[in-house]
Structure formats: structure tokens, C-alpha cells
Amino acid sequence: MFSDRYMVTAVNVDDSGDVKYEGKRLPYADQTFDPAVCMDILEHTPPRSRNPFVEELVGVAKGHVVSCGPLGSDFHPKNEIWRQTFGEYHRFLSEHIENGLPTLAEIEGILAGKNYELLFVGDVRLAGRLFLNELRILRHSNPLVRRGLSLLAQALSVPRHRLKVAREPNEFTNRVYAHVVSNG
């Protein structure tokens, strides 16, 4: 149980959710959920399947859809760093490379004709530095050292880098949040 106050149903492409999504249709009737929330999914979805997925998400929502994920830009690293560090590709980062991160133009195209609002947050440069720090930490063989370094890195990075929410992205924007009011 995720929450005592709210009924939460997790849908995932593997067996880690309550329901497994097979990639064509969400197994729910229209207007089943309010809100429907999608977190870090589009970058793992082939571009040709993104619009149909969002249509499914809006269909099962009876009021609101909230979606968030990385915003593609020329400044996002191509994630070769993981392979160079560990000698293999990371499954999820490989999907980022294969599918490409959704761009602002693509997201606006997918949401065209819908009642939506976009908000932007984060700085890809900071995210990159934090990612490199985590890679350095993961290389330590002692799990206690890894945990301690991770906590220290988090404590030192957050206060200095307050995240500002903006209505317009800049060239270094890291994430986009979409709020869609469905017709339901």
C-alpha cells in the first residue's frame, strides 16, 4: 500500500508495478483516475509511441494529468559516462540514447489541442555534476563509505542550488512538468 489516504495504482512496463503495461493500451476504462500521473516515462518510450501513450493517459484521467521528465537539449550528456565507468551500458540510460529525450517542440506537439500548462525546473549542468559525483561514489567497494559519501554529497549540493520553477525554459533547463486538464 502506497498511501492510507489515497488509492494509488502503479503501472510499469515490468513486474515492479501493480499492473504491467504491455505498450499499446492502458488496461483501464476512460475516466478511471483523477489524477493520472506519469513520471519519467516519455524518454523511455520510442518517439512514435509517445503521442499514443499520452492519449491513453489523458483518456484514463477524469480530470487531470501530471507528467514530468527530462527536457531534451544539446546540453544533456549522451550518457557514455556510465559505460566508461562500469564497462557496460545502463539499461535506462541506454533508452535515453536510443529514444532521445523529448524536446520542448515535441512535447508541445503532443499536447497540441489540449488544455495544458508547462513548468520548467532544474539545470542540466547541476544534474550532470551530481551524476558524476554519484558515479564516483558508486565505484567505492565499501557500502558504508558509499552511503556516507552519498549523504554528504546530497547535503552539500541542495542548499547551494535552489531549484527555481519557471514558466519558460532556458538552454540549461533540465526537467519539464506538464499539467493537462482532460476533457473528462
Cell of 129: 555534476
For 3-58, write each residue's pLDDT tens digit: 678 888 888 878 888 888 887 788 899 999 888 999 999 998 899 999 999 999 99
Residue 180's closest CA among 86, 95, 101, 107?
107
Which residue(s) pair with 117 in the sheet?
A: 179
| pLDDT of res. 76 | 67
β strands within 30-172, DSSP E: 36-39, 64-70, 115-123
pTM metric for this prediction: 0.80
| pLDDT of res. 65 | 93
Taking the alpha carbons of 42, 45, 48, 53 in that order, is the dihedral positive or negative? negative
**Residue ranges per domain, the chain?**
11-181
For residue 131, pLDDT over 90 is answered with no
Pick the CATH number of 11-181 from 3.40.50, 2.40.50, 1.10.3470, 3.30.460: 3.40.50
